[in-house]
Amino acid sequence: MIAGALAVSEAGFAQVTDLGRRRGPRFGVPVNGALDQRSARIANILVGNAEEAPLLEITALDVEFVPDVDILIAVTGAACHLTVDGVERPSRQPVSVRAGETIALRHVHGGLRAYLAVRGSFDVPLLLGSCAPDSVLGFGARLGNGASIPLRRATVPIVNDHFGAELYRFGVPQLSADRIVDVTDGPDAEDFGETADRLFDEPYLVGPASNHIGLRMTGSLPDRRVQGEVLSRGVPVGAVEVPPGDELLVLHRGRGVTAGYPVLAVVTSTSLDVLAQVRPGERVCFRKTTVAAASARARADRSELDSLRLRVQSAFTALDALSTTTTGRNLQ
């Protein structure tokens, strides 16, 4: 059902995406989706959506949107300056926006990608169950100025009628500013002999050709000691490869599903979110970890999100009851 539309008055570099096309790799297409999965999940949680609901990924540049119905939004990811009709509003909290007001997200800093979720989400086409754009297939696209994104649901403003302030504050941790990337040994680490540990010698400089497919870095490069053609194999997101040339290649969610380079190391699932926020020109340090530690970290992170979802749900449930008795309105 379509309840309204979000008009794009300044598109910047933004697209509608979700947690990715998990069924894609089996058909030879990358998973794609939000590069900072944790921030995308948090944005959706803060507006009461399913975590995999479509939302906006905003990369680096300023954006401006105007909804034609009242909506509830949340902005997460890289720090930025969020205003609604010129009034500064908080990130990492649900924010009510009235029909016709201008949502502006400017000065993305301390990271590269911000996420904007709308309660009820967007009505957009899916391919294999995901709306994530795939530039190779030509599915989905970056937003253009003047575009209009169909909204599934309107949400009446949740504000204190007397003070105009929101009625809640959820403690949401900020992104870490350090650029430490945890990796585990790759299945082909042996191919690099003792040079494999060069990965941990010194920081790597992230190059300008980095994107959602992968980050290209310069620094102390491990040498492949085993020669010969490698059969194309499935490569995981996060694979650290040393292709011919003078750069290290770290694959991200837009990576080609198969490749013929040996996999030296693999970035952990949580550190992929760190890489999503690294800008070209920044330096990153790789740190060796174990599969067990990486998986424990992933579980701890997710249970933090589960507890946030419960807090948001209870707040929305309480507000629902409150607004129905005092004003006759509810969140629906």
Partner 1 sequence: MSPASVVISFSGNAALRVASRLADREAGWRLVHHLARFIDAARVPGIDGVVPTYDAALIEIDPVEVSLEQVRDYVAHLIDGLDADRPLTETPRCFDIPVLYDLDGELDLQVVADAQGLSVADVVRLHSESTYVVRCLGAPGGSPMLDGPPFPFPVPRLTSPRPHVPQGMVSVAGRQATITPAPAPGGWPLIGRTPLTVLDLDAEPFVPYEPGDLIRFRPIDADEYESLRGTRMVAR
Residues that bind partner 1 (CB under 8 A): 22-31, 127-128, 136-139, 183-184, 186-187, 229, 231-239, 256-259, 263, 266-269, 291, 294-295, 298-299, 302
The whole-angstrom separation of Cα 223 and Cα 242 is 8
Q: Between residues 283 and 299, which has the closer beta carbon with respect to partner 1?
A: 299
Q: Between residues 147 and 298, which has the closer beta carbon with respect to partner 1?
A: 298
Residues 6+ apart with CB under 8 A from 150: 2, 4, 5, 122, 123, 124
The whole-angstrom separation of Cα 153 and Cα 31 is 27
Q: Between residues 85 and 197, which has the closer beta carbon with respect to partner 1?
A: 197
Shortest gap between Cβ of 95 and partner 1 (angstroms)?
29
Shortest gap between Cβ of 156 and partner 1 (angstroms)?
35
Q: Between residues 84 and 127, which has the closer beta carbon with respect to partner 1?
A: 127
Residues 6+ apart with CB under 8 A from 73: 47, 94, 95, 97, 103, 116, 117, 118, 119
Q: Looking at residue 26, what DSSP letter applies?
A: G
Residues 6+ apart with CB under 8 A from 332: none
Shortest gap between Cβ of 75 and partner 1 (angstroms)?
25
Q: Based on the number of CB atoms within 10 Å of its own CB, is 309 exposed (0-12), middle (13-18) or buried (19 or more)?
A: middle
Q: Between residues 85 and 306, which has the closer beta carbon with respect to partner 1?
A: 306
Q: Between residues 42 and 116, which has the closer beta carbon with respect to partner 1?
A: 42
Shortest gap between Cβ of 251 and partner 1 (angstroms)?
11
Shortest gap between Cβ of 54 and partner 1 (angstroms)?
17
Shortest gap between Cβ of 309 and partner 1 (angstroms)?
14
Burial code of 164-197, b = ≥16 C-beta within 10 A, e = fewer?
eebeeeeebeebeeebebbbbbbbbbebbeebbe
